[in-house]
Amino acid sequence: MERVNHCPYPYQFKGIYGIDKAHGRALVADEMGLGKSLQALGWSTLYGERRPVLIVCPASLKFNWQNEIRTHLGKDSIILSGKKPYKFPAHEYIIINYDVLKQWAPVLLKEHKPQIMIADELHYCKSRKAIRTKVTIKLGKKIPYFIGLTGTPIDNRPVELFPQLSVITPSLFPNFWDFGFRYCDAKNSFGRWEFKGASHTKELHKKLINTVMIRRKKCDVLKDLPPKIRSVLPLGISMQEYNKAEEDFIGWLKIKDPLKAKSAQNAEALAKIGYLKRLAASGKVKEAVAWIRDFLSNTDEKIILFAVHHEILNQLKLEFGNESVLLTGKTSQKGRKEAVEAFQGDPKVRVFIGGLKAAGVGLTLTTASTIAFLELGWTPAEHLQAESRPHRIGQKNVVKCYYFVAQDTIEVPICDMIQQKQAIIEKIIDGQEEVEDWNVYENLIKTLQRRKK
């Protein structure tokens, strides 16, 4: 057994031995930035005979993992790519992304026989019907030891936990229906069961922390890490085009079947809401840019900007030119690395512009301590992940998170919705006090209808 000597914080040692206590099948759900990957790698060094170690992660994080292994363990690793498997020499650590796991799984099992599987950002496997989830579960059950890593195990609803738990420890919740009826506030809608809510959350939290889940928050374990401060900044927009689109939407709701209109699965309704959301975001860019320029002229700090749509991201890049870097879903692996290095190392590069999904995970941006969200996502997890890009080990300042919300638009109820969802998630993951349940889609519609009366 090797000695673990590469974890700098006591809580990380506790995390390693928590994995060991769970017999090598655990969910490490520490808040983002606390070194979950380091803890998983640390546990793997306790048992050097259990090789190879298979690391499954989003494609954008493969090189991060290779760097972690090299930096902290002093070992080489191999990155697998492409959907056509090929022969490769034996390595202690094998890295692959979820997107090609289906094609590689038979080869890995037959020829390399992984003994430990580390699944990073395990919430990628939140949908029971998704191919990546089915492949991960099938493969994970055949590998003796499995460590799931995610700072946001629930992205939106408690039902998303079930696939993750079923691969880590199937015996904990062997039946989906039992889990769904007990913890997901199951409701029958015209002969079809839906699991969109949350119930018995305190019981679920206790069961998780007493079995497979290792969960620590930054405020609990890093007393020297400054906290985050969130502020909502209302911005005015030119309302003519937005108001017309909103009136059209309300009119459309009146002629639709009310039951269908409330359904979050109604693609047409979601498209219309998405259009309102896009108009609201576009309308506030001018005021947002003015605020950012004022920030840059009155401080020597750097700033991180998050948005969702490419046209807004590209508009921001045009506004801030050479003093900025841009990272979107279209950015290559090399481009991602160069953007981060420039922002972290070049004092002239003061603005990091990133897509909420593409740049919201796996990056360390600790040279900044201010974030501005020009657009809102749909789930708390997206924002928590993004907030943790600067709020990580190495940050010396309070991290200030500004949410730019267009006044009198659909962004207001969306902002409320995200906060309500976060309260539910904290009940389950962190054992917070009870709060009321939510009906997200219905609340959005009711808010719009009230404003039009």
Percent of the chain exceeding pLDDT 70 equals 88
Which of 194, 221, 248 delimits the end of a domain? 221
How does residue 3 score in pLDDT terms, banded at 50, 70 and 90?
Answer: very low
| Strand 370-373 versus strand 399-406 pairing type | parallel
Whether residue 100 is found in the same domain as residue 156: yes
Domain termination site, one of 221, 240, 261: 221
pLDDT 10s digits, 375-423: 988 888 888 889 989 988 788 888 889 999 888 888 888 888 887 788 7
Based on the fold, state whether residues 139 and 246 are members of the same structural domain: no
pLDDT the model gives residue 231: 83
Domain-embedded: residue 365: yes
In a domain, 1, yes or no: no
State the SS3 of 366-389.
CCCCEEEECCCCCCHHHHHHHHCC
330 and 443 assigned to the same domain: yes
Is the distance from CB of 377 to CB of 421 less than 8 angstroms? no
CA distances from 450 to 250, 257, 440 (A): 10, 19, 16
Dihedral sign for Cα atoms in the order 379, 231, 375, 263: positive
Q: Are residues 235 and 209 in the same domain?
A: no
DSSP assigned state of 409: S
Phi, psi (rounded to 5 degrees) for 328:
-125, -175
**Cα 110 to the chain's mean position, in Å?**
32
Q: Which of 182, 175, 177 lies closest to 204, judged by CA?
A: 182
CATH value at residue 132: 3.40.50.10810
pLDDT band at 435 (very low <50, low <70, confident <90, very high): very low
What is the pLDDT averaged over residues 154-177?
Answer: 91
**Beta strands, E only, 197-323:** 213-214, 228-235, 303-307
Q: How far apart are CA 310 and CA 351, in angstroms?
A: 17
Mean residue pLDDT across the chain: 86
Residues 209 and 271 placed together within one structural domain of the fold = no
**Which of 185, 200, 221 marks a domain boundary?**
221
DSSP assignment of 165-220 equals HHHH-TTTS--HHHHHHHHS--EEETTEEE--S--SHHHHHHHHHTTTEE---HHH
**Is residue 3 in some structural domain?**
no
Q: Containing domain of residue 110, as a range?
A: 10-221
Q: Is there a domain that residue 4 lies in? A: no
The answer to whether the peptide bond before residue 106 is cis (omega within 30 degrees of 0) is no
Greater model confidence, 219 or 137: 137
Note whether 256 and 165 are same-domain residues. Answer: no
Residue 260 and residue 199 share a domain: no
Whether 178 has a pLDDT exceeding 70, the answer reads yes
305, part of any domain: yes
Structure tokens at 90: 């034996």
Residue 313 structure tokens: 């991201």
At 263-289, the pLDDT tens digits run 545 666 677 778 888 888 888 898 899
Inside any domain, residue 79: yes
The reply to whether 310 and 161 lie within a common domain is no
Contacts of 428 (CB under 8 A, 6+ apart): 154, 158, 161, 198, 201, 204, 205, 208
Number of independent structural domains in the chain = 2
In 3-state terms, what secondary structure has residue 246?
A: helix
* One domain for residues 300 and 437: yes
- pLDDT tens-place string over residues 331-342: 998 899 999 999
CATH number for the domain harbouring residue 322? 3.40.50.300
How would residue 446 be classed by pLDDT, with cut points 50, 70 and 90? low
78 assigned to some structural domain:
yes
- In this structure, the answer to whether residues 215 and 233 fall within a common structural domain is no
Same domain, 239 and 215: no
In a domain, 385, yes or no: yes
Q: How far apart are alpha carbons 30 and 217 in whole angstroms? A: 6
Q: Do 211 and 279 share a domain, yes or no?
A: no
